[in-house]
Each structure stands twice: as structure tokens, then as C-alpha cells.
Amino acid sequence: MLLRRLSDLKSDLVKTCREREGQVKTSPYLFFWRKGNKTYVIDGNELTGPVSEKRLELWLNNMPHFSQIILITMGFFTQDAYKAVLGNRRRRERIILTSLGLRDYMDIEPQPKVLNVSKAKELYSALEDALGRYGIRPSPVTCSRCRDKAIAFCETCSKLLCKRHLISCPLCRIVLCHPDTASNCFSQHRCQQ
């Protein structure tokens, strides 16, 4: 089965979340779910191609505060969009970025990716189930230095980093490439204090 539009996921998400005893509501977003005192939302972007930091900021500015936000696009998120989420602790804890990776409208071979360092995983597992029905399994956004899951980015060179390839400055706490990576980001760093 081929996923042609993100709105096709809505019926699968409704079914999955009703099985998980959540309250599904209609909204202007792709999907809205309330469970207990927490509110979750999935919003979709049907366009293919890049979602840059500027487009991501416009997207997020139109959303009120939710317990968890999953943004899914038919296109792909750029490196600076990932930085906008990873560089902000509040966003990192509640926003998950999922992309199908289509470069243009003629592209039919999805290359799905997910940036998920959030602690709230309940709604994302429902999205994974819905995408799985279409044969889509997003792989994690990976470190620029290896194939492990990216959890941060270097403040000096802007590379995405996993737990093994990052180090925090002991004085100002910013994240940098680990000196063992043959990078000189740590030695070039000068604290802002």
C-alpha cells in the first residue's frame, strides 16, 4: 500500500488511539489526542522538499502549547531545522520531527527519518504503527560521525552528534565535538563567560 497523502494516516491513527483509550478530537491539525491531563498533536505538511529552520519556526509559531508535538512532512527537515529543536531544551523534550524524505512530487521512494529525543513516546508509537501499515519504518537521524542516533549538535561546526561523539564544556556547558574525533572544535572553543 502506498501512502500518497499524510491525511490518509488519520483513520489509522484514530483507530490505534481509540484502542489505547485516549480521547480523539477533531481539530485543524492532522491529529489531536487527549489522554488524562496531557494533550498530544500530530501536524502534517503535505509538501515535498526541504523544511528549513525558518519554515519550522513559522509552523511552530502557529501552535499553542501541547504536551507533545509530532511534526511530519512528506519532504525532509534540513540540518538547521534539527538544530532548532536540539538546541532548545523545551522543544527537545516535547517535539518529534518525522519526515518521509521525498525530494519532489515525482519522488516515490520514501527515505523516512525521525528525530526523537523526547521522553513522551506514547503518541509516537501510535504513529509508528500507522506508518507501519504502509510499510514505512522511519530510521533515526544519525550522528555525522557514525551511524548512532543523534541527540545534540556541535556549537562550533554544527554537526549532529551522538552520545559517544560529544563533550560538554565544563565551564559553559555547550556541546562540542569530542576531541577523540580528530576535530579541533573543543580546542578552538572559547567560553562566553
Crossing angle of helices 10-19 and 122-132, in 10° steps, is 130
pLDDT at 134: 87
Tens of pLDDT, residues 94-125: 899 999 988 776 777 788 999 998 876 778 88
What gap in Å lies between CA 56 and CA 60, rounded to an integer? Answer: 6
Angle between helices 53-61 and 79-86 (to 10 degrees): 50
Q: What is the mean pLDDT of residues 26-49?
A: 81
pLDDT digits over 147-175, tens only? Answer: 999 999 998 888 999 999 999 988 888 89
Residue range 6-140 in CATH 3.40.50: no
pTM score of the predicted model: 0.86
Q: Which tens digit of pLDDT belongs to each residue from 51-99? A: 999 999 998 887 777 888 999 998 899 999 999 999 888 888 889 999 9
Query: At 179, which helix (H) or strand (E)?
Result: none
Checking if the pLDDT of 26 tops 70, the result is no
- Is the pLDDT at 187 greater than 80? The verdict is yes
Task: Give the residues across from 43 on adjacent strands.
Answer: 71
* In the chain, where the domains are located: 6-140, 152-188
Contact of 101 with 59, CB cutoff 8 Å? no
